[in-house]
């Protein structure tokens, strides 16, 4: 019974995780940048599965979720993303 309860809880918690939260581990590899330095921004109010910028280590690319639920690059990796405005970091 405890195992079943734990599985249900895990499923609920995983279902509540924003889909864009899965981008940074992938972007860290693609951008050759530590994951904690990767920021993800929704592009043009695209929604939870639409296009998102991944920005880190002076590079930027665009990801979109494919029909299989995987985030894939939909644009080139561009150096110097200075034209993309990042929100200020959260206060601690």
What's the pTM?
Answer: 0.68
> How many C-beta neighbours within 10 Å does residue 59 have?
18
Q: Is residue 66 part of a domain?
A: yes
Only one residue has tokens 């590899």, namely 29
Q: How far apart are CA 87 and CA 81, in angstroms?
A: 14
Q: How many structural domains is the chain composed of?
A: 1
Q: Which tens digits make up the pLDDT trace of 11-42?
A: 444 455 678 889 999 999 999 999 999 999 88
Q: Is residue 5 part of a domain?
A: no
Q: How far apart are CA 7 and CA 13, in angstroms?
A: 10
91 by Cβ neighbours in 10 Å (0-12 / 13-18 / 19+) ranks as exposed
The domain of 75 spans 19-79
Q: Is residue 40 part of a domain?
A: yes
Q: Is residue 86 part of a domain?
A: no
Q: Which tens digits make up the pLDDT trace of 37-83?
A: 999 988 887 788 889 999 999 999 999 999 998 999 998 999 866 66
Q: Is residue 89 part of a domain?
A: no
Q: Is residue 84 part of a domain?
A: no
């Amino acid at each position: 019974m405890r195992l079943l309860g734990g599985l249900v809880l895990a499923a609920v918690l995983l279902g509540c995780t924003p889909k864009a939260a899965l981008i940074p581990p992938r972007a860290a590899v693609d951008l050759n940048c530590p994951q904690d330095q990767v920021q993800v921004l929704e592009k043009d109010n695209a929604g939870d599965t639409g296009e998102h910028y991944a920005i880190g280590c002076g590079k930027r690319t665009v990801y979109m979720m494919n029909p299989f639920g995987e985030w894939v690059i939909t644009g080139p990796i561009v150096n110097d993303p200075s034209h993309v405005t990042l929100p200020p970091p959260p206060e601690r």
